[in-house]
């Protein structure tokens, strides 16, 4: 806590355990946290990578989810299974860039309900993708999937859209 007092961040840790604040303070003071927070290319580079990763993961997920729901019926469902691998690459880009962005403001993010909601939704979005991937891979030639799979796809669309909105609101609320 002495470090946080010294840099004027002690008031930012309300509701955070002292051991967490210690780790989070260390993370913010790390070279990565400092680079992202203070260097000219640091933050813009990570934001750009985060946007690219999000476009890949969420964009492909939305196309697959919409196809599961019956849109784009001219595209065989089995043909979309190869896009999951690319979507997971986008998720990995987001994980790495998001971790770097988190390191710049770890203490304040850990007590920000908007950020924590976004992270919960991202986790749910990843879970829905993990559920849908084998369903799409095992879809028969007719492309008919059970109603439960369609429900997961519909939920995934809502989850990803709200996660994006919460991510944008993190910067402003």
Those residues whose C-beta lies under 8 Å from the C-beta of residue 121, and which sit 6 or more positions away, are 159, 160, 162, 163, 166
What global pTM score does this model have?
0.82
Note the pLDDT of residue 172.
87
pLDDT tens-digit map of 41-98: 899 999 999 999 999 999 999 999 999 999 998 888 888 989 999 999 999 999 999 9
Note the pLDDT of residue 83.
95
SS3 33: helix
pLDDT tens-digit map of 104-123: 999 999 999 999 999 999 99
Note the pLDDT of residue 47.
94
Note the pLDDT of residue 107.
92
Query: Where do the domains of the chain lie?
Result: 33-170
pLDDT tens-digit map of 131-172: 999 999 988 777 778 899 999 999 999 999 999 999 999 988
Measured CA to CA, the distance from residue 127 to residue 72 in angstroms comes to: 24
């Amino acid at each position: 806590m002495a470090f946080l007092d010294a840099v004027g961040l002690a008031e930012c840790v309300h509701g955070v355990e002292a051991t967490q604040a210690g780790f989070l303070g260390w993370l913010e003071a790390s070279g990565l946290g400092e680079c992202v927070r203070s260097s000219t290319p640091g933050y813009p580079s990570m934001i750009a990578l985060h946007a690219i990763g999000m476009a890949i993961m969420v964009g492909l997920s939305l196309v697959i989810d919409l196809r599961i729901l019956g849109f784009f019926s001219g595209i065989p469902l089995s043909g979309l299974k190869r896009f999951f691998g690319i979507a997971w690459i986008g998720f990995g880009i987001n994980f790495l860039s998001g971790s770097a962005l988190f390191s710049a403001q770890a203490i304040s993010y850990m007590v920000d309900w908007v950020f924590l909601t976004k992270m919960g939704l991202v986790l749910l979005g990843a879970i829905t993708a993990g559920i849908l991937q084998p369903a799409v891979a095992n879809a028969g030639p007719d492309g008919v999937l059970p109603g439960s799979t369609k429900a997961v796809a519909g939920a995934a669309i809502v989850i990803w859209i709200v996660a994006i909105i919460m991510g944008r609101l993190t910067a402003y609320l």
